[in-house]
């Protein structure tokens, strides 16, 4: 049985890492700390607890208003509207890549609502890499904390999928669109 699990883990690793677009939770990984304990601030400056989302999948996305992937806001909104009963879409503006999110929270919020009709939960602007990395992104990109993944965002609109139990189960690069069948299947299953 251990050999089968090991072979499956190796095949999964090779498949997902050779394509470069998706990384999945290995079969034998264990989360070290809980994502639900990380304090957050909404784009309006209010405290937000991820614990309120227990029992629901969560798609976490680092966003930017002046990026070639900014149009993904439209698909994120459609995902929120169509699958909001199964997954909470959470947007985290960041200015870490190419200075593509220089605005303040109020301007970001207005931009998202006016141009893309965003109603999913947006958060205060944070850093998703480097020395000033927010604790949420430290958890998402540290296998010592999340149990398996060490991949941090390499650009805007990277995506992390959390399951109903608060476990990180998938990482998607910026090039994987929010309505990609792989994301939809992961949300529905």
Contact 43, 108 (CB under 8 A): yes
Residues 106, 120, 188, CA angle at the centre, nearest 5°?
A: 160
The conformational region for residue 64 under phi > 0 = left, psi -120 to 50 = alpha, else beta, is beta
Could you list the active site residues?
Answer: 67
Distance CA 148, CA 30 (A): 7
160 Cβ partners below 8 Å, 6+ apart?
59, 60, 61, 140, 149, 168, 170, 171, 172
Please name every residue paired with 170 in a beta bridge, in sequence order, or none if there are none.
24, 161
Distance CA 51, CA 178 (A): 23
């Amino acid at each position: 049985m251990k050999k089968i699990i090991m072979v499956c883990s190796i095949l999964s690793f090779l498949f997902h890492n050779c394509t470069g677009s998706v990384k999945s939770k290995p079969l034998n990984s264990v989360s070290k700390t809980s994502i639900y304990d990380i304090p957050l601030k909404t784009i309006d400056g209010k405290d937000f607890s991820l614990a309120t989302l227990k029992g629901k999948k969560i798609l976490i996305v680092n966003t930017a208003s002046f990026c070639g992937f900014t149009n993904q806001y439209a698909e994120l909104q459609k995902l929120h509207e169509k699958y909001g009963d199964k997954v909470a879409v959470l947007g985290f503006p960041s200015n870490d890549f190419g200075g593509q999110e220089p605005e303040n929270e109020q301007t970001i919020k207005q931009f998202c609502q006016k141009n893309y009709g965003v109603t999913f939960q947006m958060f205060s602007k944070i850093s998703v890499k480097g020395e000033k990395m927010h604790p949420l992104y430290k958890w998402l990109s540290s296998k010592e904390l999340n149990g398996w993944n060490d991949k941090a965002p390499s650009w805007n609109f990277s995506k992390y999928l959390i399951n109903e139990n608060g476990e990180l189960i998938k990482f998607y690069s910026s090039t994987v669109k929010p309505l990609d069948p792989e994301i939809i299947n992961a949300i529905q299953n």
